[in-house]
Amino acid sequence: MEMRGKTVLITGSTDGVGRYVASRLAAEGAKVLIHGRDAVRAKALIDDVVQAGHAAPAFYQADLSSISGTRALAEAVTRDHQRLDVFVSNAGIGSQNDGPQRQESADGFELRFAVNYLSGFLLVHLLLPLLKAAAPSRIVNVASLGQHPIDFDDVMITRGYSGSRAYAQSKLAQIMFTIDLADELKGADVTVNSLHPATYMNTTMVRAGGITPMSTVEQGGAAILHLVADDDVAGRSGLFFNGMSEARANPQAYDADARRRLRTLSLELAGLSSRA
C-alpha cells in the first residue's frame, strides 16, 4: 500500500512502538492521527515530525479506560475525517502498570480487559463506516504471544487475580476478536490481522514491569508496519503473526463457541448489544 495521503489512526502512539510507527508513517507522507493521554508527549512527537520536514500529525487526547472516553475519540475522528485507511489498535497497559493489584476501569471492568481489548473492540465498530469508505483498508490489532484462556465464569478475574493473567487474557481477547471481525468483514475489502510485534521491547510498559528489554521498538515497529502497508498481506485477514511470520495463537482463539461468548459479552459491555 502506498502510504502517501493515506489517513492512519494509531492509538497509544505518543510513546513506545506506537510513537515509532507514527513517525515512520508520517515520513512516508501519511496523514497520521495520533492518540494518547499525555499532551506533552504528543507535542514532543509532533515537534519531532515537523522538524524532520513532514506534516504534523493530528493529536486526539482520550482516556480509553472508559467507554465514554473511547466513544469521544471515535466521535472526534468521525467529525474530522470522511475516511480511514488504516486503524492500528495499539493502546494498552502492561501487567504491572500502577502496581500488581487488581484495578477497575471507570465502568467497573477489570482494567486490562477494558483498555487493551474492549476499547479497541468499541473503536473498530464505531469507525467501521470510515474504514469501509476507504476500502481497501486495514485494521491491525497489536496483541502478544502472552495469551491466557478466558474463564467465562469470571471474565473480570475477581478470583485468583494476577496482572500477567489479566494482560494475557486481554491479548487473547484481541486475537479472538480479530478472527471474528475478519469473518464479519468478508466482501467489504477491509482486512483485520493481529500480531505479537516483538518480545519485551524497550518500552515504558516493559520497564514498568521490571523486565529487561530483549528487543527494540524498531523491530516491533517493522512488524506492525508490515501489516499496515506490505503487499504480501493484502487481502489476507483473520491472521495472527509473531513478528513478520504467520503463527498460531492459543487454541481458544479457534473455538467458535468461545468467540461467540466473548462477542456477546463485549457487545453488551460496550453498549452495542443491539448488534448481537
Catalogue all structural domains in the chain, each as residue range(s) with its CATH number: 7-275 (3.40.50.720)
Measured between alpha carbons, how far is 109 from 246 in angstroms, rounded to an integer? Answer: 32
End-to-end CA distance of the chain: 33
Res 179 pLDDT > 50: yes
Mean pLDDT of 82-95: 95
Mean pLDDT of 183-202: 92
Q: Is 167 a catalytic residue?
A: yes
* Catalytic option among 20, 161, 167, 200: 167
pLDDT bracket for residue 203 (50, 70, 90):
confident
pLDDT bracket for residue 273 (50, 70, 90):
confident
Cell representation of residue 182: 475478519
Return the half-sphere exposure (C-beta side, CA atoms, 13 A cut-off) of residue 111: 20
Measured between alpha carbons, how far is 20 from 62 in angstroms, rounded to an integer? Answer: 20
pTM of the model: 0.95
Average pLDDT, the chain: 95
Q: Are 21 and 228 in contact (CB under 8 A)?
A: yes
